[in-house]
């Protein structure tokens, strides 16, 4: 492809190519502090969605080693989002070394806090905020659980902030580096935040899962214990490769839910969520 | 040299993997994934002798192949339980047959749908039994449904609602509109029982099926994988039976498949170094074109050589349908595409 770059995020290396210069330049800027991978685990392609779409209303298709048959192309101005979606897709469909959980993750003292929930639950925002308040940010999209050890491995890609979360993060983390604001994408407004320096420098360090949270944003403060069986079922739904891993996936996940306490938390705003997390963590 | 040529070379001579640079590895992995040959590559290459990232990728591919094998055999077993009461012959085809029969062609192979062959007369009973046991039509479209039933060699594809797996139930191995007419009764009569109520095609018939599928049906997209099957089937069958090539020659004639099987053997020898008898190895000019089509994959895993691919696409319709039927079919498909585009 005419333009290409490579990025390593945690244990996964990507090679990203495009017909267009802009998405590759934007990725290079956003991921300037990340290591490269000379051989990639996955190839991502962002070609013009049709030959004439190189010139007229340019649009990028979302392609790679793994593809969805009906993935809609995005306007060139949203190339960073196309790259993010394509990279996620490769991991979700192709990665098998770890059990993948669709979750955010932060670490302190070698122990990991995992947060998983629907889009809008605030798990990305909470991880981003905690990552600038004494925790190491490990990821806002996937946390990777090693089947052999049960350890959590980081996937600290650029944090994908949506809609109101953009303002919250801009106010709370004014010193961090942000990407361009992408307006009116299929997922609303999006702005990427580069994770804090220690998140990138220490991205190969695993952590021991110690607490599992299921946050819900917009309710009065509440904490409810979640049993191992319920946590298991919720996490099978939050895993993109649980089925593909077969028995190995089952063992890894049952081991995780039996070992790690789980809580569902409701919170009205991010400050109370952070206070709640600190309380729960202290009481472990 | 395309990335697909590199892939064919490394599959045929896995020791070449040791000398590859990172650029070549990236190309090889992308092409192998796109051709669904990454599992086969993973089983050929010595994982201790490749860079760590490549070992990661190939370990994952081995695990995926093991899981696909398990899933395919389970799906065959679930289907067997539903259809056993009918007491009809049930022959596994393609990938599921290779793994069920323990053939080397099944090692690392990607397996998608379950392909089954049964006598034409029992298809309505088979379809009814599957529909009652949780399968549903995957293409609920009147034209497609009618097209399958009139012109295809299989039922419209069915999908199991809970397991999300497709099944194709065939009554022969080529569409009735295609030029050669294989002897479906002989395929079923000659099938080899597996001992559990299911059977697989006899060795020569397996090769003939693979050759017809690749060269008498379809546009050769993703065909490198089918040719790799053929390479393994030819090697293993010839090792097991000294008279295999004679039997293959005679059997191919019975199925009107001689030219296709001969081409399969020549191209397998050309791309994968398959040992074939000298009488079989009389290259044709057109082999070059077929090789060009089979290797049309670049170092990002994209299809290349658009003119060659278009030519084979046109050919695929030409060999599959008489001209008037083809014209009608393309017209209906074009109208529907236009309607879909307006709806979007």
- Examine the domain organization and report whether A85 and A129 are in the same domain: no
Q: How far is B26 from chain A (nearest CA, A)?
A: 6
Contact B53 A45 (CB under 8 A): no
Last residue in a domain, options A94, A117, A144: A94
**Residue at token pair 């997209």:** B221
Task: Name the residue facing A39 among B33, B53, B63 (closest C-beta).
Answer: B53
Question: Which of A94, A122, A147 is where one domain is finished?
Answer: A94
Under the banding of pLDDT at 50, 70 and 90, the label for residue A70 is confident
- Same-domain pairing of A120 and A249: yes
Nearest chain A alpha carbon to B38: A65
Residues B63, B152: Cα–Cα separation, whole Å: 35
Look at the block and give the residue holding tokens 């729960």.
Answer: A280
Residue ranges of alpha helices (H) inside B37-88 are 38-44, 52-83
Structural tokens at position B312: 């084979």
Residues A51 and A130 placed together within one structural domain of the fold? no
B343 pLDDT tier (thresholds 50, 70, 90):
low
Half-sphere exposure (Cβ direction) of A229: Cα atoms closer than 13 Å: 0
Same domain, A110 and A209: yes
pLDDT (tens digit per residue) in B280-331: 999 899 999 999 999 999 999 999 999 999 989 988 888 877 777 777 777 8
Whether A157 and A267 share a structural domain: yes
Three-class SS of residue B249? helix
Q: What is the DSSP letter of A1?
A: -
Q: In Å, how far from its chain's centre is CA B279?
A: 26
Chain B residues close to A95, C-beta within 8 Å: 60
Nearest CA to B36 out of B53, B13, B11 is that of B11
A129 and A268 part of one domain: yes
Q: What is the three-state SS of A214-279?
A: EEEECCCCEEEEECHHHHHHHHHHHCCCCCCCCHHHHHHHHHHHHHCCEEEEEECCHHHHHHHHHH
- Structural domains in chain A (count): 2
What are the φ and ψ backbone dihedral angles of A16, each rounded to 5 degrees? Answer: -120, 125
- CB-CB neighbors (< 8 A) of A41 in chain B: 53, 56-57
pLDDT at residue A240, as a whole number: 94
Question: What is the average pLDDT value for chain A, to the nearest integer?
Answer: 94
Nearest Cα residue to B10 out of B239, B264, B1, B61: B1
Of the candidates B9, B23, B39, the residue with the CA atom closest to the CA atom of residue B300:
B23
Query: pLDDT by residue (tens digit) across B61-88?
Result: 999 999 999 999 999 999 999 999 999 9
Q: What is the pLDDT of residue B344?
A: 57
Are β-strands A63-64 and A42-46 bridged in parallel, bridged antiparallel, or unpaired? Answer: antiparallel
How far apart CA A235 and CA A212 sit, in angstroms, is: 10
**In a shared domain, residues A53 and A172:** no
Instruction: Give the residue numbers in B contacting A (CB under 8 Å), as ranges.
Output: 22, 25-26, 29-30, 33-34, 51, 53-54, 56-57, 59-60, 63-64, 66-67, 70, 300-302
Statement to judge: residues A200 and A88 lie in one domain: no
Whether residue A65 lies within 8 A of chain B, CB to CB, comes out as yes
Q: A-chain residues within 8 Å CB-CB of B63?
A: 96, 245, 248
Q: What percent of chain A lies above the pLDDT cut of 70?
A: 100
B55 interaction partners in chain A (CB closer than 8 Å): none
Q: What is the C-alpha to C-alpha distance for residues A173 and A127, in angstroms, rounded to an integer? A: 12
What is the spatial distance between Cα B203 and Cα A165, in angstroms, rounded to a whole number? 62
User: What is the rounded radius of gyration, in angstroms, for the C-alpha atoms of chain A?
Assistant: 19
For chains A and B, count residue pairs whose Cβ atoms are closer than 8 Å. Answer: 52
CB nearest to B56's CB, from A15, A65, A97: A97
Would you call A40 and B26 a contact, using CB atoms and an 8 Å cutoff?
A: yes
- Same domain (yes/no): A105, A245: yes
Task: Write down the H helix ranges in chain B.
Answer: 3-12, 22-34, 38-44, 52-83, 94-100, 123-132, 142-151, 184-189, 203-215, 223-240, 244-254, 258-272, 285-294, 306-320, 323-343
Q: Which residue has the tokens 């190339």?
A: A79
Choosing from A58, A78, A94, the residue where a domain stops is A94
**Please, what is the end-to-end C-alpha distance for chain B in angstroms?**
40
CA separation (Å) from B191 to B83, B117, B195? 17, 10, 12
Q: Which domain holds residue A105?
A: 99-282
Q: Which of B32, B37, B60, B341 should one mutate to test binding to chain A, selecting the residue with the greatest count of A CBs within 10 A?
A: B60
Q: What is the mean pLDDT of residues A164-192?
A: 91
B29 to A43: CB separation less than 8 angstroms, yes or no: yes
Mean pLDDT across B9-31: 96
Does the model's ipTM exceed the 0.85 cut? Answer: yes
| Gap between the Cα atoms of B108 and B68, Å rounded | 9
Decide if B67 and A97 are in contact by the 8 Å CB cutoff: no
Please indicate whether, in this complex, the C-beta atoms of B26 and A94 are within 8 angstroms of each other.
no
Nearest-neighbour CA in chain B from A145: distance (Å)? 15
Q: Are residues A136 and A249 in the same domain?
A: yes
Q: Which residues of A touch B51 (CB under 8 A)?
A: 39
| Same domain for A173 and A33 | no
Domains and CATH numbers, chain B: 3-343 (3.30.460.40)
Q: Is the pLDDT of residue A55 over 80?
A: no
Share of chain A above pLDDT 90, in %: 85
| pLDDT > 70 fraction of chain B, expressed in percent and rounded | 99
Interface of A with B in 85-104 (CB under 8 A): 94-97
Percentage of chain B beyond pLDDT 90 is 80
Complete edge-to-edge strand list for the sheet that includes strand A222-226: A136-139, A104-108, A111-115, A208-217, A262-267, A222-226
B111: distance to nearest CA of chain A, Å? 14
CA dist A201 → A36, A101, A144 (Å): 13, 22, 18
Residue A90 and residue A113 in one domain: no
Judge whether B125 and B189 are in contact, CB under 8 Å.
no
For residue B300, the chain A residue with the least C-alpha distance is A43
Q: Which two tokens stand for residue B294?
A: 């089979």
């Amino acid at each position: 492809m005419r333009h290409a770059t490579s990025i390593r995020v945690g244990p996964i290396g990507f090679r990203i190519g495009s017909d267009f210069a802009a998405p590759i330049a934007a990725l290079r800027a956003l991921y300037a502090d990340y290591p490269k991978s000379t051989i990639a685990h996955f190839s991502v392609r962002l070609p013009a969605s049709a030959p004439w779409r190189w010139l007229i209303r340019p649009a990028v298709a979302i392609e790679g080693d793994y593809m969805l048959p009906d993935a809609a192309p995005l306007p060139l101005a949203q190339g960073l989002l196309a790259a993010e979606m394509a990279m996620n897709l490769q991991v979700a469909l192709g990665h098998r070394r770890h059990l993948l959980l669709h979750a955010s993750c932060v670490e302190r003292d070698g122990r990991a806090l995992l947060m998983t929930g629907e889009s809008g639950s605030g798990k990305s925002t909470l991880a981003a905020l905690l990552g600038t308040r004494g925790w190491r940010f490990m990821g806002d999209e996937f946390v990777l659980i090693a089947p052999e050890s049960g350890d959590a491995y980081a996937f600290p890609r650029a944090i994908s902030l949506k809609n109101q979360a953009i303002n919250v993060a801009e106010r709370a983390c004014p010193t961090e580096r942000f990407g361009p604001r992408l307006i009116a994408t299929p997922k609303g407004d999006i702005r990427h935040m580069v994770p804090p320096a220690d998140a990138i420098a220490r991205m190969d360090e695993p952590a021991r899962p110690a607490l599992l949270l299921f946050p819900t944003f917009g309710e009065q403060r509440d904490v409810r214990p979640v049993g191992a069986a319920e946590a298991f079922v919720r996490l099978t739904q939050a895993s993109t490769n649980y089925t593909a891993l077969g028995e190995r996936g089952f063992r890894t996940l049952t081991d995780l839910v039996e070992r790690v306490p789980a809580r569902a938390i409701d919170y009205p705003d991010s400050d109370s969520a952070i206070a709640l997390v600190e309380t729960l963590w202290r009481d472990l | 040299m395309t990335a697909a040529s590199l892939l064919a070379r490394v599959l045929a001579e896995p020791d070449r993997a040791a000398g590859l640079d990172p650029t070549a590895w990236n190309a090889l992995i992308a092409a192998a994934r796109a051709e669904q040959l990454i599992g086969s590559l993973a089983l050929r290459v010595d994982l201790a002798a490749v860079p760590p990232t490549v070992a990661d990728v190939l370990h994952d591919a081995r695990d995926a192949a093991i899981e696909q094998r398990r899933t395919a055999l389970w799906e065959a077993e679930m289907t067997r339980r539903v259809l056993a009461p009918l007491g009809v012959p049930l022959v596994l085809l393609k990938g599921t047959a290779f793994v069920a029969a323990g053939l080397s062609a099944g090692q690392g192979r990607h397996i998608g749908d379950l392909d089954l062959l049964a006598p034409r007369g029992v298809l309505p009973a088979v379809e009814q039994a599957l529909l009652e046991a949780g399968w549903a039509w995957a293409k609920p479209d009147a034209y497609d449904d009618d097209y399958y039933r009139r012109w295809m060699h299989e039922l419209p594809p069915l999908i199991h609602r809970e397991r999300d797996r497709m099944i194709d139930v065939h009554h022969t191995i080529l569409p009735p509109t295609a030029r050669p007419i294989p002897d479906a009764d002989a395929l079923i009569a000659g099938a080899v029982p597996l001992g559990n109520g299911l059977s697989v095609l006899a060795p020569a018939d397996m090769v003939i099926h693979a050759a017809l599928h690749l060269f008498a049906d379809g546009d050769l997209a993703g065909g490198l994988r089918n040719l790799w099957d053929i390479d393994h089937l030819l090697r293993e069958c010839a090792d097991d039976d000294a008279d295999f090539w004679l039997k293959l020659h005679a059997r191919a004639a019975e199925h009107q498949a001689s030219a296709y099987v001969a081409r399969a053997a020549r191209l397998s020898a050309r791309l994968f170094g398959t040992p074939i008898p000298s009488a079989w190895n009389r290259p044709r000019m057109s082999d070059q074109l077929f090789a060009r089509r089979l290797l049309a994959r670049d170092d990002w895993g994209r299809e290349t050589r658009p003119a060659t691919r278009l030519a084979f696409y046109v050919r695929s319709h030409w060999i599959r349908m008489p001209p008037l039927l083809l014209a009608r079919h393309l017209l209906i498909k074009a109208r529907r595409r236009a309607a879909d585009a307006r709806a979007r």
